[in-house]
Chain A
Amino acid sequence: MIMSTYQPIIGLEIHVELNTAAKMFCQCPANYFGKKPNTQTCPVCLGLPGALPVPNRKAIYYAQLIGKALNCRLNQSSKFDRKHYFYPDLPKGYQISQYDEPLCSEGKIEFYGCHTEHLIRRVHIEEDTGKLLHEEEVTLIDFNRSGVPLVEIVTEPDFHSAEEVKMFLEQLQILIRDLEVSDADMEKGSMRLESNISMGSQKSGGKLPDYKVEVKNINSFRFVKQAIEYEIKRQIDLLQKGGSPRQETRGFEEKKGITYSQRTKEEAHDYRYFPEPDIPPIEFDNAHEKKIEELLHARSTFEMRRSLLMQKYKISNQNALIIASDKKKFQFFERCVLVADSRLIARIANIMVNKPHMVKNTAPAAFVKTLTAISEQKHVEGEELVSHIEKILEANEKAVNDYKRGKQNAIMFLVGLVMRELKGQADAQIIRKKIEEKL
């Protein structure tokens, strides 16, 4: 009832921490997880006087890789900007991010099972902040995370339910992991979700309402649905009572399963973005884009693998799903295809899915060799096969008669004899069919 009047409109901002060896703008190790506080720092990520950022190329490539996988346009020129706000975990008083010239723009992706295409507004790169540790009397700051490369993926506001968001996120996590650029673990904070939620009414014809509520602190897949559903219900309740939701930022309280107001529009930041003067704008040429494409093909995503299996190799949907879901399986399949006769491809997929024990601990080439041997053994057919069958039938009159009298077992005896004669190099089913025809 309610849903017919109001339609949730949800846009996502997803942060993914990259697994590069070094941080975004200095040489400190990016892997801070479980490290002693403030041991992975230097003048740059501590924001000491005079320190300057030098961008990590690999992190830039990784962000472009994600953008490419989401079918974004890789912008030929891009730049970094300073985003100013004051917080103790932000040592420079600004975060180096990207404002109006992100690395990647305007992508779209239809994940398997999502049943709809989702639009990606942009993919850009920025640096992570330090971490506040609240103790009883004091708050401590750990800067090990400061400067770790973060990719921000911003979608268009085209999600309409919590379920949709959850499915998208799950598929996105698979994609990020496939690309090997992050472990994208929500519990560890290497993948974080901020969702902008508002209610559109049918009357307005899908137009965006003049407010949005940003919900933060959703730190687990478990809570994605819960948080968004709570927020949708809260807004609908408010609207039905004749109220209107405020533009605000809300946090999610895991224990109670509710969202709570953190900051309203009046307290909203003016980030005073301006181009980061310490980093010259970056230009990318076509050769660079080609390199990113090659890297993407080398690492591949589930969607890419699935469509390759179905379109290039004509593998059935069911088999393609299973093989594509596991990158190792897919690589095994591709290596098999390299050495196998094209007529064997469907069978390779079949065996991999239905008789996985046959491929276990086997090298692709060895597997194909075995398979080829088996299939080559079955080449006795047609005229030749018929003549062999006739020979056997003539020599075994008793069994033939038994069969004709209705003794069904007799036919298996005859099939066995033919198979022995042919040293197994024929298809038992075909032999049986031929014998039946003869008799």
Chain B
Amino acid sequence: MNIVGTSGIELIRLLQTKKMSSSELQEFFLKRIKKYDNQFNAYVTTVEEKKNVSNGQPLFGLPIAIKDNFCTKGVRTTASSKVLNDFIPPYDATVVTKLKKAGCILLGKTNMDAWAHGSSTETSDFGVTKNPHDLTRVPGGSSGGSAAAVCAYLAPLAIGSETAGSIRQPAAWCGLVGLKPTYGRVSRYGVIAMGSSLDCPGSITRTVSDAALLLGILAGHDPYDATSEIISVPDYLSCLKNKEPLTIGVSDEYFDNVQPEVSAKVQEALDVFRKHGHRIKKIKLISPKYAISVYTIIQRAEVSSNLARYDGIRYGNGREYLGQEAKRRIMLGTYTLSHGYYDAYYKKAEIVREVIRADFKRVYKDVDVIIAPTTPMTALKIGEWEKYPFFGEMMDILNEPGAIAGLPAINIPVGLDSNHLPIGMQIIGRHFDEETIVRLAHQYEEETDFFGVTKQILKKYQD
């Protein structure tokens, strides 16, 4: 039985019908990791230990990869920084607890930009991760390890986290489904903090159904996270059947400086939606370029504060182990929070943040979702980032406004460019309305099968 490329939902079915055991499945993935991961460097740590799970759990025996900034009890958690080289958490992140309870088996911890500072995994202290579509290119980031692992089927699905783009962008560059839920929908407890007012756990999967399945498990209020909202969680899987016509907003501002090939594919995708009775409405949003400054100031400020605890006194290595990018961010954040500068930077950024929120709110009176390219370009070559000052911010420019506003969004593959690199499109929804973006993405998947983007790549990594 060749199961390469099988979705999470289908794997659970195979396990439930005893076509294979959970330990066989785990072994299958561990073997693939051994065979292929020296090419990709998707994992920082793998877990070989076998766990007993019981049939009846919703994710019964399903192996999963988790980004290395989620605390996993007894399993090294580094956030891809040498500061935490030997850090073994004494507790599980709420996301991990929920996955374990649902019957998931942890395959390993995936590589990322150190502390999630970056958009390419190049800031990782454990080496860059390579894009399975082209090994000379980056997978995107910061959840690049999770994306590469799912892309090459070294895990059927993976958990990532996004501050602004860290799920959507690597999903786009690796040709996968990346779901960033609403801020406050999924608990951040146990996720090594980057920008606390923005951080959002989510998933990278091969299908929209898998994303819906995982969100159903992960969503909900957590008493350990005061920012997680008490809002009921719908059955995302059954939402997928809904085909009612929607109004889709498209803003020209989100196509500025976007590669023509990328824009063209997004336009084609809009035609698919039109064909199915959805209405495309032109809207005018504040240019995403304003989000860059707001995002940069707020995120750096929060980073400088969040990294203060890594003093090497109680756990981990000392500050001398921090990399260049972390140091830059700490310095910039410390500066903007300093006496006399707070009003000019942080406070002003918070004001503009409100303006951006209000802008979305205004637009969502007229439209149900907003569609835009996920990234201005497709995957870059390793090392190319050095050409771009504020590389991450530029790559994530189209993700930042939504992230600042805390909106949910999903990336789906809409085709390949002339270099055979995946192109991603994002559907951005209203606060806590993951239902709508997921069902629209699902409809597109049903219609196009993502043009084979997620499947064809596996021909390279077959057995």
A49 touches B89 (CB 8 A): yes
Decide if B173 is an interface residue (CB 8 Å cutoff): no
Query: Which residue of the partner chain B has the closest CB to A93?
Result: B308
Bound together, the chains give a CA A280 to CA B191 distance in angstroms of: 18
Bound together, the chains give a CA A93 to CA B334 distance in angstroms of: 13
A270 touches B339 (CB 8 A): yes
Q: Which residues of B contact A43 (CB under 8 A)?
A: 71, 89-91, 190
- Expressed in whole angstroms, the minimum distance between the Cβ of A390 and any Cβ of chain B is 84
Chain B interface category by residue count: 35 or more
User: Contact mask A264-289 → B, CB, 8 Å, 1/0?
Assistant: 00000010111001111000000000
Decide if A424 is an interface residue (CB 8 Å cutoff): no
B189 touches A51 (CB 8 A): yes
- Expressed in whole angstroms, the minimum distance between the Cβ of A89 and any Cβ of chain B is 10
Decide if B223 is an interface residue (CB 8 Å cutoff): yes
Q: Which residues of A contact B304 (CB under 8 A)?
A: 272
Bound together, the chains give a CA A92 to CA B302 distance in angstroms of: 13
B71 touches A277 (CB 8 A): no
Please pick, from A50, A54, A82, A278, the residue contacting B190 in the complex, using a CB distance under 8 A: A50
User: Contact mask B35-74 → A, CB, 8 Å, 1/0?
Assistant: 0000000000000000000000000000000000111000
Q: Which residues of A contact B366 (CB under 8 A)?
A: none
Q: Which residues of B contact A49 (CB under 8 A)?
A: 71, 77, 79, 84, 87, 89, 192-193, 309-310
A280 touches B189 (CB 8 A): no
**6 A-B residue pairings within 8 Å (CB atoms):** A43-B90, A49-B71, A50-B69, A54-B223, A277-B197, A278-B196
User: Contact mask A44-69 → B, CB, 8 Å, 1/0?
Assistant: 00111111111100000000000000
Q: Which residues of A contact B (CB under 8 A)?
A: 43, 46-55, 82, 84, 86, 88, 91-94, 141, 270, 272-274, 277-280
Bound together, the chains give a CA A46 to CA B226 distance in angstroms of: 18
Decide if B451 is an interface residue (CB 8 Å cutoff): no
Q: Which residues of A contact B159 (CB under 8 A)?
A: none
B309 touches A272 (CB 8 A): no
A82 touches B226 (CB 8 A): no
Decide if B227 is an interface residue (CB 8 Å cutoff): yes
Name the segment of B120-128, B270-278, B311-319 touching the other chain.
Answer: B311-319
Query: Which residue of the partner chain A has the closest CB to B307?
Result: A93
Bound together, the chains give a CA A48 to CA B77 distance in angstroms of: 12
User: Contact mask B224-238 → A, CB, 8 Å, 1/0?
Assistant: 111100000000000
A50 touches B93 (CB 8 A): yes
B309 touches A47 (CB 8 A): yes
Query: Which residue of the partner chain A has the closest CB to B335?
Result: A272
B342 touches A47 (CB 8 A): no
User: Contact mask B301-335 → A, CB, 8 Å, 1/0?
Assistant: 11011011111011100000000000000000010
Query: Which residue of the partner chain A has the closest CB to B115?
Result: A49
Q: Which residues of B contact A53 (CB under 8 A)?
A: 226
A278 touches B334 (CB 8 A): no
Bound together, the chains give a CA A279 to CA B197 distance in angstroms of: 9
Bound together, the chains give a CA A397 to CA B316 distance in angstroms of: 108
- Expressed in whole angstroms, the minimum distance between the Cβ of A157 and any Cβ of chain B is 22
B302 touches A48 (CB 8 A): no
Query: Which residue of the partner chain A has the closest CB to B315?
Result: A48
Q: Which residues of B contact A48 (CB under 8 A)?
A: 71, 89-91, 315
A52 touches B314 (CB 8 A): no
Bound together, the chains give a CA A391 to CA B188 distance in angstroms of: 95
B84 touches A52 (CB 8 A): no
- Which 7 pairs from chain A and chain B are nearest by CB? A93-B308, A277-B197, A277-B196, A272-B337, A50-B190, A49-B192, A50-B71
Bound together, the chains give a CA A272 to CA B301 distance in angstroms of: 10
A54 touches B226 (CB 8 A): yes
Q: Which residues of A contact B79 (CB under 8 A)?
A: 49
A91 with B314: in contact, given A52-B224, A84-B305, A277-B197 (CB under 8 Å)? yes
